[in-house]
Amino acid sequence: MKKLFTILCFLILHIARAQTGGSFSFRYEAGATVKIVGRNLTNPWAGGINGAQYSTIQLNADTVQDLVLYDRQTSRIMTFVAEKQANASYLWRYAPQYEQQFPAITYGTWMLLVDYDHDGRKDLFTHSNGGLRILQNTATNGKLSWKTIADPVYHEGLSGTLNLYINSVDIPAILDVDNDGDIDILTYDINGGTANLYQNMSVERKKDPNGLDYKRIGFCWGNFKSDDDCDEFTFGLDCVYVGNETGGDNAGARVKHNGNSMLVIDVDGDGNKDLLTAHVTCPHVSMLTNVGGNGASTRFASYTNRFPATNPISFDVFPALYAEDLDFDGLKDLVASPNTYGNDGNLIDFRASNWFYKNAGTAKLPNFQYGSKSFLQEDMIDFGEGATPVLADLDGDGDMDLLVGNAGVRSASGYRASIAHFENTGTKSKPAFELRTTDYLKLSEQFLLTDLKIAVADIDGNNSFDLIFTGNSINRAPEMRYILNQAGRGAAFQLDATKVQQIPTPDRLGIIDMPTWFDVDRDGKTDLLIGKQNGSIEYHRNTGTAAAPKYALQQQNYGQINVLPGATSPSIVVIDLNGDQRPELLTGTRDGIMKLYQLPDQPTNPMLLLDSTLVINELTQTADQGTPGGNLALTAADLDGDGLPEVLAGTSTGGVRYLRNTSEKVIITGTEEEEARLPWVYPSPTDRFLRVKSPNNGVVQVLNLLGQPVTARLAVQAHTEATIDLGNLPVGVYLVRLLREGQPVRHQKVVLSK
């Protein structure tokens, strides 16, 4: 009984602490302006792009198609709206508020948008465990919604009804191949290098172009197969079905299938649809010319592996092509992007991995002209892979400058990481960043490091911040180094890159672990917290001296939390996010979720989760569950002068996201500091009822995140519990406002989940 009483007291204390300071919230915003080589970026904080799949769809209320990307490496969906300018031209404006309107896509697969039911709204085709999932677009009142129509999709096969299987690695072609009005499907056979036509028989059988009635036609569409060698094809195959699934005169010539992309369009203007295809082992796209007809009569007889003829597509591995109108002229252009899960061999430059080819011809006879290797990427911060930002006043002018580390970029010297430096040329309340160098202190010339993670902290105890960087050596062994800042606090950094010192590598430091520095035990020396791959946080106490820091493991599970089991190492920031004069601990993970914890009073005590619904979607005013880029690397500082630190989140795709802090700022007064320790509204989350216990007489009302009342005002008496019924409200995040005469207004965020 005594033990139970102790636990209850502990929980009551920490619940009280959890109520401190009201609500925490952030919003993705366009944020500060960013200039690179004299040009202001259109979407600086979009977060970077690696291997993207492109489709268009209607996102907002205008008549112009908007753009949707699915990045295979992070399973992140990115949305861009076509924004009309004063001169009547259009540009792509990043609009993350639409991203959560899309369903979850199986990690590392594919997604294409095609209007199969001809209602003017594009539907969603994607991979599933069964092979293919089709979701119908059921948008209402301008908001996207989806209904699963088929999962899996079946077809009339060569030997009965079978699952229509599409390899998760492939990019299929989904279009009206035979020009009869319904949507057919083309994909490579799972067993080899031949292609399969799944003809939609809805028109033939029901005279209805809106159905999904599929039949496999023949043994190999187009009378060809791809061979073992890259860009080698055999033509003239007999593709007539002869009575079994492996029939055909060339059945023995099959090769192992391991990844192909397809785009089927009429390239030469003869009315026959040609094939643009690439294999996982190939650096370029091959064009197969159709000399037959369309649909089942398609016949390929020749190919070229230089497409387009001028400035042909050439990635080191596995390109995929997409045809959409990307420059608002009404003609479908081409964009090519790597169809890979990662960067095997570090061969791809993910700073420039989206090649744009403008259609300078016509719809019937296209002429694809090279335009750029970094479509959309050139309008955002994008350093390829593994961006790790840090905010610090490097030049001593009172505002925060920006450093961004990266995982590495291939050059003549090999694959090396570096640090980019952006100077803040704005003010304390209106930041503006301008790129000064992509190799700060020329560290890449000194060290053959990859996966660079950077931080600033006071290593030597002289009250000024030093530069710390962690990376992996050429042998994939983690290393920690630092450069002491010779300047005093508040002055411009004085860093001598020739005086880099190495920190003894802590035991158990992994190559993807995320370190941060903070004085955990309040002894005046900066300790080390490490986010581990298993989702926990290790605490390494600084047992060294100012001249020679040394870190010894104290706890393998600091705070007794598990941020995300089995996923990736959480990034950690320790900072006061709401002005209550007590720092919180913020984590970011691979899936893009940020979680906020109350720091324990003692290092051995558990941490309490304060909030995991931090980011608010401006369109829906609910918690935003979109994936902001994967493997988040967080930094925080007040960028707009309101006393609340913003958060910048580096992504695995080489970019940075900007989150404006919209938390309720705590104003500490003589009595408020004590009363803030007491809970006054609980529980959260709740499935219906809230209880309110105010320290003073007052009036309580529930608001939505636009500040609009959603319940009637309720008079409450001091220290007397009252109940609020939220049963008529939709699930979401709300604010409870407490008005008291002569006292500051208080707000508390609550989550309603039914």
> In this predicted structure, which of 163-172, 189-198, 564-573, 631-640 has the lowest mean pLDDT?
564-573
- The predicted pLDDT at position 676 comes to 55
Domain boundary among 358, 379, 400: 379
Question: Is the predicted pLDDT of residue 250 greater than 70, yes or no?
Answer: no
Place of tokens 């989940």: 753
**3 state DSSP class of 715:** strand
Q: Round to whole Å and give the CA distance between 465 and 485.
A: 6
Render the burial of 92-121: b for 16+ CB within 10 Å, e for the rest: bbbbbbbbbbbeebeebbbbbbbebbeeee
- The predicted pLDDT at position 246 comes to 39
- Extract the tokens encoding 698: 């007052």
Tell me the CATH number at 702: 2.60.40.3080
Q: What is the per-residue pLDDT across 573-603, written as a single tens digit (0 to 9) for each?
A: 999 999 988 899 999 987 778 899 999 888 8
For 549-593, the DSSP string reads: --EEEEESSGGG--SSTTS-PPEEEEE-SSSSSS-EEEEE-TTS-
486-494: which pairs have CB atoms within 8 A and are 24 or more residues apart? 487/396, 488/462, 488/463, 488/464, 489/463, 489/464, 489/465, 490/393, 490/396, 491/396, 491/464, 492/394, 492/395, 492/396, 492/397, 493/392, 493/394, 493/395, 493/396, 493/465, 493/467
Question: Is the predicted pLDDT of residue 245 greater than 80, yes or no?
Answer: no
- The predicted pLDDT at position 682 comes to 84
One domain, residues 424 and 340: no
One domain, residues 614 and 705: no
| Percent of the chain topping pLDDT 90 | 67
- Extract the tokens encoding 586: 């913020």
Q: What is the per-residue pLDDT across 39-73, written as a single tens digit (0 to 9) for each?
A: 999 999 999 999 999 999 999 989 999 999 999 99
Asked whether residue 251 is domain-assigned, the answer is: no
Q: Which residues on neighbouring strands pair with residue 235, listed in sequence order?
A: 224
Q: How remote is the C-alpha of 331 from its chain's centroid?
A: 29
Confidence of residue 248 (pLDDT cuts 50, 70, 90): very low
One domain, residues 646 and 699: no
- The predicted pLDDT at position 43 comes to 98
Cis amide prior to 152 (ω within 30 degrees): yes
Confidence of residue 475 (pLDDT cuts 50, 70, 90): confident
Q: What is the per-residue pLDDT across 706-721, written as a single tens digit (0 to 9) for each?
A: 778 899 999 998 888 8
Beta strand 478-483 with 214-217: parallel, antiparallel or unpaired? unpaired
For residue 580, give the nearest of 461, 459, 667 by alpha carbon.
667
Average pLDDT, the chain: 89
Asked whether residue 348 is domain-assigned, the answer is: yes
- The predicted pLDDT at position 674 comes to 52
Confidence of residue 19 (pLDDT cuts 50, 70, 90): very low
Average confidence (pLDDT) over 671-678? 54
Give the amino acid at 339: N
One domain, residues 651 and 701: no
Beta strand 214-217 with 154-157: parallel, antiparallel or unpaired? parallel
Asked whether residue 121 is domain-assigned, the answer is: yes
Which residues, 6 or more positions from 522, have their beta carbon under 8 angstroms from its beta carbon?
none
Quote the pTM value: 0.87
One domain, residues 176 and 214: yes
Tell me the CATH number at 68: 2.115.10
Asked whether residue 1 is domain-assigned, the answer is: no
Q: Round to whole Å and give the CA distance between 473 and 483.
A: 18
- The predicted pLDDT at position 255 comes to 43
Q: Round to whole Å and give the CA distance between 583 and 119.
A: 53
Q: What is the per-residue pLDDT across 391-437, written as a single tens digit (0 to 9) for each?
A: 999 999 999 999 999 999 988 778 999 999 999 999 999 999 999 99
Range of the domain at 351: 49-244+256-379
Domain boundary among 628, 661, 694: 661
Q: Of residues 678 and 685, which shows the higher confidence score?
A: 685
- The predicted pLDDT at position 234 comes to 93
- The predicted pLDDT at position 741 comes to 77
Q: What is the per-residue pLDDT across 29-40, written as a single tens digit (0 to 9) for each?
A: 898 999 999 999
One domain, residues 275 and 422: no
Query: Measured between alpha carbons, how far is residue 703 from residues 260, 366, 522, 708 in Å?
Result: 52, 54, 39, 5
Q: How remote is the C-alpha of 372 from its chain's centroid?
A: 23
Asked whether residue 30 is domain-assigned, the answer is: no
Asked whether residue 10 is domain-assigned, the answer is: no
Asked whether residue 17 is domain-assigned, the answer is: no
Q: What is the per-residue pLDDT across 121-144, written as a single tens digit (0 to 9) for each?
A: 999 999 999 899 999 999 998 899
Q: What is the per-residue pLDDT across 72-107, written as a single tens digit (0 to 9) for each?
A: 999 999 999 999 999 999 999 999 999 999 999 998
One domain, residues 688 and 599: no
Place of tokens 């959309």: 376
Q: Round to whole Å and give the CA distance between 538 and 327.
A: 49
One domain, residues 373 and 392: no
- The predicted pLDDT at position 102 comes to 95
One domain, residues 534 and 651: yes
Average confidence (pLDDT) over 338-359? 93
Q: Round to whole Å and give the CA distance between 583 and 536.
A: 19
- The predicted pLDDT at position 1 comes to 40
Q: What is the per-residue pLDDT across 253-263, written as a single tens digit (0 to 9) for each?
A: 444 557 999 99
List the 39-40 sheet strands across, edge first.
39-40, 33-36, 432-437, 419-424, 401-405, 388-392
**3 state DSSP class of 58:** coil
- Extract the tokens encoding 116: 């199969």
- The predicted pLDDT at position 5 comes to 36
One domain, residues 688 and 564: no
One domain, residues 656 and 565: yes
One domain, residues 742 and 637: no
Asked whether residue 31 is domain-assigned, the answer is: no
Given a contact cutoff of 8 angstroms between Cβ atoms, the answer to whether 146 and 134 are in contact is: no
Domain count for the chain, please give it.
3
Question: Is the predicted pLDDT of residue 679 greater than 80, yes or no?
Answer: no
Q: What is the per-residue pLDDT across 616-666, written as a single tens digit (0 to 9) for each?
A: 888 888 887 666 667 899 999 999 999 999 999 999 999 999 999 999 888
Average confidence (pLDDT) over 427-456? 96
Beta strand 450-457 with 466-472: parallel, antiparallel or unpaired? antiparallel
Domain boundary among 631, 661, 691: 661
Average confidence (pLDDT) over 368-392? 98
